[in-house]
Amino acid sequence: MNSHAILTKKQRYFRNFKDVKRVLDLAGIKFWLDYGSLLGAVREGGMIEWDTDLDLSTTDDYWNHLVEVIPKLQELGFYGYSTNIPLGKGLFSRGLWIRRYGQKVDIMLYQRVKKEMIGFVWVRERSHHLLGKRYLSKIIRGCYFLLFHERLFGTPHPSDLDVNMSATFKVWGNVLRPISAPFGYAKTCISKLLTVIGFRFAVFSVPSHFFDKLTSAQLFGLACEIPSDVDEYLTYHYGNWLTPKKQFDWTVDDGAVVGYV
């Protein structure tokens, strides 16, 4: 049995963080811990017990650099997809969403708009029930993104925990890339239809002063950057962040989500 299969959740989290951090640091990509990972590092001194992924953020200035390190991440066993969605007026929804050991690492990109840092994530609004069951909305969202917006990639070195999913990402990435072009003419119509049935871009808006000057923290003995005035920053996101909220739903509970477009 491959030793990866018996790694604890904490060990997977640490190894993913260590390797992603090394790749980003070597590429000169400035990033910081964010969301649940930041909350865990500050409040728990590690990871939140029920958290399922590692959350990092950077700015849109590093988008090209982030795309360029994908092959290096693949060599380390990561697979996943990137998103690059133009929203008009020079704004984009961009990010890198990868996995290894069955665990996610999300890297979200912010853009500066005056004194705010803005980010976008496409989701179905929780309050919108036209689609009914959540799994149906995930299927529709996945098909739309696969055809029009996402670059899927596998890894040549999957762990035993990732073999099947990595192969799936690689196959669908190769298949969908050439066939998506003929459907381009329908993209606007499909996008509007999905908006009607409840899909939106959640808009994250954070005062830029939190990111203008980063400070340092430790996560599993590794130094990492975090937003300045972390107490105020976490309060901005979570309110009373010192009290754990296992049922926290970011689509409605995160104070940085200011609306949907």
pLDDT of residue 128: 47
pLDDT digits (tens, 9 = 90+) for 206-217: 999 999 989 998
- Residue 173 burial class via C-beta count within 10 angstroms: exposed 0-12, middle 13-18, buried 19 and up: middle
pLDDT digits (tens, 9 = 90+) for 40-65: 999 988 888 888 899 999 999 999 99
**Beta-bridge partners for 59:** 110
**CA-wise closest residue to 51 among 39, 38, 36, 34:** 36
Residue spans of alpha helices (H) in the chain: 9-26, 35-39, 63-68, 70-75, 134-148, 163-179, 187-196, 209-212, 230-238, 250-253
Give the total residue count for the chain.
Answer: 261
Q: How many domains does the chain have?
A: 1
Q: Is 131 helix (H, G, I), strand (E, B) or coil?
A: coil
Give the range of the structural domain holding residue 93, as residue numbers without chain letter: 3-260
pLDDT of residue 136: 63
pLDDT digits (tens, 9 = 90+) for 108-163: 999 999 999 999 987 766 544 444 455 566 666 666 665 655 688 999 999 999 99
CA–CA dist 26, 236 (Å, integer):
31
CA–CA dist 43, 177 (Å, integer):
43
The residue type found at 24 is: L
> With DSSP H G I counted as helix, E B as strand and the rest as coil, what are the percentages for the chain, rounded to 5?
45, 30, 25
DSSP conformation class of 180: S
- What does each C-alpha distance from 221 to 18, 20, 104, 259 come to in angstroms? 10, 15, 21, 37
CA–CA dist 181, 124 (Å, integer):
25
The residue type found at 108 is: M
pTM value > 0.75: yes
